[in-house]
Structure 1
Amino acid sequence: MRVTRIISTDGAAAAVGAYSQATTNGDLLFTAGQLPLTADGDLLDDAPVDEQTAQCLRNVEAVLAAEGLDASDVLKTTVFLDDIDDFDAFDAAYSDFFDDEPPARSAVGVADVPKGAAVEIEVVADAG
């Protein structure tokens, strides 16, 4: 029987609501949407979208590392942009993180991202 485990790390921003940073069943790891919040809780909502994207991905990286994983284990990302016109700037920063063999990705424009951020990123990774 598989058991779902909660994943938490001080290396990424703490959850800002009733959710976990990530969960795993031992085969797959699912992160919550990562905002451009530093591990100290500073929100980079006034920063350009490329800087916000980089912070979101640093949070993803920290959550993955808590399970001994890295970017190469990511199978799929979902990206929420509050302005789809920011896609090119987002994609440039995202490409720096997933430079060799990027995972599958969905990127959607939404009316609002939590906390007034420009971007939120969630991932599914191979934890097996």
Structure 2
Amino acid sequence: MDRPRPISVPGAPAPAGHYSAGMAHGGLLYVSGQLGGRPDGSHTFAEPFEVQAGAAIDNMLRVLRAEGLGPADLVKVTVYLAGVEYWPRLNAVYAEKLGKAKPARAVVPVPELHHGYLVEIEAIAALGENS
């Protein structure tokens, strides 16, 4: 059996801790939790929720694109929100960014997230047969 393979993501914020942005294994791509950090290292935590959510989704999509994937390849998305009151606003940004793709999804309210962010997104996507 193949070993898990870390994903290199050009143009994405570097992971802030001891982890990979994504791991490929067993025909699946596992995307680590993505916050709203920008590729230049700056943060969006002081910006409106929609900016944070859009940046977090963009970071998730960058990891997918690094493997030649897109929203249609998503199998499951988990979203952590620092307050369930953000759910409608998240859903609007999410629908805009993912378009017709509707993967399985869970939205989990949490008391707080790292750096004071309001949203973090992790995902699982299906890799191509030759990956």
- Cα contact 2:71–2:101 (8 A) shared by 1: no
CA displacement 1:9-68 (0-9 Å, x = unmatched): 132211010111000115000011000000111110011111111101111111111111
Q: Tell me the TM-score normalised to structure 1 length.
A: 0.95
Cross-structure match for 2:118:
118
Superposition TM-score, scaled by structure 2 size: 0.93
Assess if the C-alpha contact under 8 Å between 2:10 and 2:66 holds in 1. Answer: no
C-alpha separation in 1, matches of 2:48 and 2:123 = 22
Contact 1:29 1:124 in 2 (8 A): yes
1:80 is aligned to 80
Map of 2:93 onto structure 1:
93
Deviation at 1:6, TM superposition (A): 0.3
118-127 vs 48-57, which moves further: 48-57
| 1:55-97 per-position Cα deviation (integer Å, ceiling 9, x unaligned) | 0111111111111111110000000000110111111000111
Q: Quote the Cα distance in structure 2 between the aligned partners of 1:98 and 1:62.
A: 13
**Where does residue 13 of structure 2 map in the other structure?**
13
Instruction: Tell me how far apart the structure 1 counterparts of residues 19 and 101 of structure 2 sit (CA, whole Å).
Output: 30
Does the 8 Å CA contact 1:11/1:63 hold for their aligned counterparts? no
Q: How many Å separate the matches in 1 of 2:86 and 2:70?
A: 26
Moved more, 116-125 or 23-32: 23-32
- In structure 2, what is the equivalent of residue 60 of structure 1? 60
Structure 2 SS opposite 1:32: strand
* d(CA) in 1 for partners of 2:74, 2:20: 18
Distance in 2 (CA, whole Å) between partners of 1:127 and 1:114 is 29
Give the length in aligned residue pairs.
128
Percent of residue pairs bearing the same amino acid type: 36
Structure 1 gaps, min length 5: none
Q: Could you tell me how far 1:101 is from its partner in structure 2?
A: 3.0
**Stretches (4+) displaced over 2 A:** none
Amino acid aligned to 1:33? G
Letter in 2 for 1:39: P
